[in-house]
Amino acid sequence: MSNFCSVSDDILTNIMSRLPAKPFAAAACVNHLWNRISDRILSRPRLTSGLSLAESPEIAVDEALEMALSKPIRPHFAIAFVGLHFPIEEIHNRIASKIGANTILITTASLGTIDADSITNELEEMKWEDDEDAVITDDDMYLGVTMIIGFVPGLKINVVPLLHTNTEPQVPMVDEFISDVRDFTVLVAGNTNPEPVGIMLFGDHCRNLKPILAEIDAKISRETVMIGDAHNYFVCTNAEVDNIDTTLYTVDAVALVFARDNLNNNEVEIKFHVGISSGIIPIGPKIEILDVLVHEGKTTWLFARTQGEVWPLDAYNLILSLHTLIIDKPYFLYIGVTKEAEPLDGGLSIKYTEFYEVIGTQQIMFSVAGTGINPGDICMFYHSDMDSAMGSSNDVYNRFHHLVEPPPRQAYGQLVSSSRSNREKVFGGFMFASSNRGDKHFGNSVTDCMPFYENFPGVPFTGTFCFEPIGRSPVLEEEEEWQSDENRFNMQAFNTIHLVMSYKKTA
């Protein structure tokens, strides 16, 4: 041991920086020198990920964790995206037992993932089966686990649940949710900045969060980034969630709240950047819903007329005519229904749009996936459009491009850095994409993730295909105009939400 103590700091730093997370944590406890070196190695934020497609839940968890923890990291939060045919609670409990009780963990279902291959480092798309009635055999299993682990010095993280009351009328507790978010933020950031840096939200599949999100959007500062999946299966173990009296309240969603830690001296400042890629365009006339028929609580048959007309709509022939106008084949057809959210505190109503995929037609009626449409609602048809999706993806690429570190320049016969001394550096990214996008629509697995991997090659990045991606940029661009009574959350069908995480030194 005495000989090893004579090793220089540089050599020891080189050795420790190659250790997996658990041996690294053990090494940091050896003595003050090793602890100081470990702090130096982890003085910057990190995001790591791991993907396993093993058919055994236990093996998949172990492989994904081994990959995500293959480098030094002190987990502040972890997110597991799990194939629908895996037991989510069982996987959640196994992960929690391995990463420790102090790490915030959310486990959520996924319809597919994009992650870097552990050998080639190439981004790889895997779509998982989303048919609940599908028969799964040994040769036909779409199972897997993707782990994301984050270390974010300079931020504090907490889980805040969004609840509704179980007694009638079942009231969503929006104001209580916002108050809890701000109370936590003030606790760690101080009174000067009561709004968090970002919120990552996971909504329950049994609850329609769109009117609730419209109200949250109106009440939380535009400086706060918000992204996530509004309609899914999730598990979260946290004191805030565990202590809820489930006889009185039901959890509609959980939010990972990222607040700036202003009460401690931090060497870095972390920023979140959001890009939103849409991919639908309107087509056909506006229609008014005359009557609805809900089938098994999952689909809705609609009886409608063209707005301004007296006679009912010939739905079959209308949708057939729309088919001839749409160039892309295959495509997805949706209706967008204009709604208004009425805040419980009596504030102004907020307009938003709910999208439903059209799945069938029968003469004067057509059917959509989902429920919640009412007689009198005004709708518009939309369809997925390849050019729109790719153009929108290019716009996101350009939005992020200012964060790209310039290539080194030649000076006195040597390559030197061209970047400013305190330039923002990207350390990771997330993507929440509509399950209808990806390889099966674009014919490749790179269109959705292009804005990230072409701007930041080699930087950790993970994406999930999900039911209802949601996102909101932190501030409006100068050239943008927005009506005050309209929701600014992007809750469109066929969208992709990109999150880039960067940092810069504070001193």
Task: Compute, in degrees rounded to 10, the torsion defined by CA atoms 139, 118, 144, 430.
Answer: -140
Confidence at residue 375, expressed as pLDDT on a 0 to 100 scale: 95
Position 348 scores a pLDDT of 77
Q: Where are the beta strands (DSSP E) in 268-397?
A: 268-277, 280-295, 299-306, 333-341, 350-362, 365-369, 378-384
- pLDDT at residue number 421: 62
> Phi and psi (nearest 5°) for 439?
-60, -35
Cα–Cα distance, 66 to 82 (Å, whole number): 16
Which pLDDT does position 131 carry in this prediction?
Answer: 46
Give the integer Cα–Cα distance in Å for 453 and 117: 13
Per-residue pLDDT, 467 = 87
**Among 242, 254, 230, which residue's Cα sits nearest to residue 163?**
254
For residue 341, the model assigns a pLDDT of: 80
Show pLDDT as tens, one digit a residue, over the chain (507 residues): 555 555 678 888 888 889 888 988 888 888 888 888 888 888 899 999 998 888 899 999 999 999 999 999 999 999 999 988 889 999 999 999 999 888 999 999 999 888 876 556 667 777 765 444 444 444 334 578 999 999 999 999 999 999 999 988 888 899 999 999 999 999 998 887 788 999 999 999 888 898 899 889 888 888 899 999 999 999 998 878 888 888 899 999 999 999 999 877 778 899 999 999 999 999 999 999 999 999 988 899 999 999 888 889 899 999 999 999 998 888 999 999 988 887 777 777 888 899 999 999 988 999 999 999 999 999 999 999 999 999 999 999 999 999 997 766 555 555 455 555 668 899 999 999 998 888 777 777 678 888 998 999 889 999 999 989 999 876 544 444 444 445 577 888 899 999 999 999 886
pTM over 0.95: no
Cβ contact 153:466 at 8 Å: no
Which residues does 265 contact at the CB level (< 8 Å), separation at least 6?
none
Q: What is the pLDDT of residue 310?
A: 87
pLDDT at position 366 is 95
Residue 249 CA to residue 207 CA, distance in Å, equals 13
Contact at 8 Å (CB) between 159 and 259? no
What pLDDT sits at residue 190? 83
Closest CA to 430 of 49, 90, 85, 86: 49
Do 272 and 359 form a contact (C-beta atoms < 8 A)? no
State the pLDDT at residue 340: 85
